[in-house]
Structure 1
Amino acid sequence: MAGRDTAPDEVAPAVAAARLAAQGLAGTARCTAVDAVAHLLAVQAQDPRGMRLTIRSRVAGSHATDVDAALTRDRSLVVTWLNRGTLHLVRAEDYWWLHPLTAPRTQAQIRRRFTDEGVSPAQAEKGVAVVERALAADGPLGRGALRERLRGAGVPVDGQALIYVLIEAAARGLVVRGPVTGGDQAYVLVRDWLGPAPEPRGRDDALAELARRYLAGHGPATDRDLARWAGLPLGDVRRGLAAISADLADRDDGRAQLRRPPGPGPAAPAGGDARMAPPRLLGQFDPVLLGWESRDWIVGPHRGIVTSNGIFRPFALVEGRAAGTWAVRGGRVELTPFAPLSAAVTEALRAEAADVERFLRPAGRPG
């Protein structure tokens, strides 16, 4: 099942419905921002608003400041470069095992990028040391402050050089992005912000945890889906899936699905009787566009959701498919549907728009 070499080409409505339910977009909502992130394991985070909107669509009544509080006050969430060398929001406790799985491939990518940016190995090494010393002495610090420290030490910071120094420091397990201050997210030392590292997991144990947690938020899915999402070799994710084979439901379509998701709740419906998600307004870089090898089952012919430079736009989800894009202008949501919508769907999306506006409104400001 999970080891099948050719991924199924078609995504049947039952599979789509089950995936949307696993994503937290249909059925029972999660209770808190941390619950939602725990269920999804890792949330794309290079767009701060999109990261927060992922929580809104999965935690009823939540507010953007709930994410900020978890990052700043509770230290229960952090942001760093993980899957595919991309910024992700994760629980602090999951950072400790997910980072060692993904960091080696991130470092290999970044070292090639240093060459492209004209940063020598010695300059990169010096840059990481400067960042570590600055955060130890004066952290938390934002990107602008670290830029000046690096520039003063003679480390290149123009173009993408600065961000690659920060990624290298993160890949080494030295820094994460933690507290939100003045609308920006500051960098902190892992040892200062999260404390001592727990006992490390063995790689096989971590791969099994990865497989289980991925399927809880994305199943049914193939081994290739997991490899694409995590940015890991296919052989690695197959080892993880094989380790949890006793927990997988019986399917005949080459996809893997947990018999019962972690935590309370009913067993996973292998036959596909999950409810389709109600109309939703999803933010930019929503996980539902990034969790599988293909996103055609969501976007269909409307690939303009992904712009030419790879930016994922906010979109409306109706009956499990992209039905339009939207934007916030002057504090108000403006929807651009791909085709006329029914009165019932239009009303549901108006309610969603009002909730997006409430979610993003600064705390204490009346609607």
Structure 2
Amino acid sequence: MIAERLTAQLLAGTPQDPRGARLAIRARTTGLTAADVDRALTEERSLLITWLNRGTLHLVRSEDYPWLQALTTPPLFTGNARRLTQLGVTENLADRGVKAIERSLAEEGPLTRVQLRERIAAAGAPTEGQALVHLLMLASLRGLAVRGPMIGREHAYVLARDWLGDSAPVDRDRGLAELARRYLAGHGPAGDRDLAKWAGLPLRDARAGLRAIASELDERADGRVDLAGRPPAAGLPPPRLLGSFDPILLGWRSREPLLASHEVVVTGNGLFRPFALVGGRAAGVWKLSTGGVRLEPFRRLTRKDAAALDADASDVLRYLSVGVEPRHLG
């Protein structure tokens, strides 16, 4: 499937905004619709949304989930525990909540967030405010729960073993090597600090992964590396409308070459707005509005670029099937 191949190339895309995750696939493929991605998530089980790198939700291939989960989640437990404590959820209460999640999913099958809130509360664990989402995150970090099928219009939770089957133990050294290899396949050339930031891992782990595949790499004059034998980039991409939290903003340490002085793309509270890419740089922000796409360019666009973005806006509407009641995935 095209969406699965593209996701394999990106390795892990960030779907904090579910629509943005689907738009990331649209911008890099042709002919798909958001419904195709949804089927891969909820019916074919070839794609998956769960908490991974840096403690944020990611879109990954289901077959990549076991080793990515094993590598990227250990650094996240401390922060998760700290936040739960701030919310009044002790370690014992957190364990009680996660056990309630696991037991309920095992006995009843897929459940929505609202249904799990009821089960967790009945077990005596807090669910007020952000406590629920951090308990769900803890169940995910432990490899117990993932997003699975739809229940009505909601993306339900399910036991990972029920949805994906059992997985073999992960060899950490081999996993770090594969992480470095796959990261460069979608983001190279890049440096060790780029890999560490993207994966949310200590720099020593990023360097260990790159050392393990040193014979497969070419080093650039600027110190960055890439997979040996890769053909040079085909040039700048055509003008595109990219969604919020697009992977192009999250794959490397610096966004300056892409955003320059246009900080409006990334807001002060950490939101990444949908933006237009022209000539390899951010050229404006956009949003869906009544009747179509509304673009706010940063500068006057050439007729050619404006026409290309107009055509891409039409494709966004086609892809999203705007006018159809949305399902709440992610």
> In the alignment, what sits opposite 1:342?
302
> In the alignment, what sits opposite 2:87?
117
> In the alignment, what sits opposite 1:287?
247
Gaps of 5+ in 2: 326-330
Closer/same/farther in 2, CA of residues 79 and 234 from structure 1, 3 Å limit: same
Taking the aligned partners of 1:341 and 1:323, their CA distance within structure 2 comes to 8
CA offsets per residue over residues 282-336 of structure 1, 9 Å max, x none? 0000000000011111111001111121110000000000000000012511111
8 Å Cα contact 2:105-2:111 kept in structure 1: yes
Q: Tell me if 1:216 matches 2:167.
A: no
Taking the aligned partners of 2:291 and 2:15, their CA distance within structure 1 comes to 22
> In the alignment, what sits opposite 1:74?
44
Closer/same/farther in 2, CA of residues 319 and 182 from structure 1, 3 Å limit: farther
CA offsets per residue over residues 269-292 of structure 1, 9 Å max, x none? 2xxx53111100000000000000
What one-letter code is carried by the residue in structure 1 that aligns with 2:222? D
Taking the aligned partners of 1:364 and 1:325, their CA distance within structure 2 comes to 24
Which TM-score applies when normalising by structure 1? 0.86
> In the alignment, what sits opposite 1:323?
283
Taking the aligned partners of 1:211 and 1:309, their CA distance within structure 2 comes to 30
Taking the aligned partners of 2:139 and 2:286, their CA distance within structure 1 comes to 36
Which TM-score applies when normalising by structure 2? 0.95
- Cα deviation, residue 183, structure 1: 3.7
Q: How does 1:72-151 map to 2 (within 5 A)?
A: 72-151=42-121
Taking the aligned partners of 2:26 and 2:67, their CA distance within structure 1 comes to 27
- Cα deviation, residue 72, structure 1: 1.2
Taking the aligned partners of 1:183 and 1:360, their CA distance within structure 2 comes to 16
> In the alignment, what sits opposite 1:19?
none
Taking the aligned partners of 1:331 and 1:211, their CA distance within structure 2 comes to 44
> In the alignment, what sits opposite 2:328?
none
Q: Tell me if 1:169 matches 2:139.
A: yes
CA offsets per residue over residues 219-270 of structure 1, 9 Å max, x none? 111100000000000011101001111111242111011124xxxxxx332x
> In the alignment, what sits opposite 1:301?
261
Taking the aligned partners of 1:183 and 1:34, their CA distance within structure 2 comes to 23
Q: Which has the higher contact order (CA 8 A, sep 6+)?
A: 1
> In the alignment, what sits opposite 1:268?
231
CA RMSD of aligned residues (A): 1.5
Q: Tell me if 1:160 matches 2:120.
A: no
What one-letter code is carried by the residue in structure 1 that aligns with 2:206? V
> In the alignment, what sits opposite 1:3?
none
Taking the aligned partners of 1:226 and 1:234, their CA distance within structure 2 comes to 8
8 Å Cα contact 2:70-2:170 kept in structure 1: no
- Cα deviation, residue 151, structure 1: 2.0
> In the alignment, what sits opposite 1:351?
311
Q: Percent identity?
A: 56
For the residue of structure 2 that corresponds to 1:249, the secondary structure is strand
For the residue of structure 1 that corresponds to 2:105, the secondary structure is helix
Gaps of 5+ in 1: 1-30, 261-266
- Cα deviation, residue 182, structure 1: 3.7
Taking the aligned partners of 2:278 and 2:68, their CA distance within structure 1 comes to 33
Q: How does 1:165-204 map to 2 (within 5 A)?
A: 165-197=135-167, 199-204=168-173
What one-letter code is carried by the residue in structure 1 that aligns with 2:98? V
Q: Tell me if 1:361 matches 2:321.
A: yes
8 Å Cα contact 1:83-1:231 kept in structure 2: yes
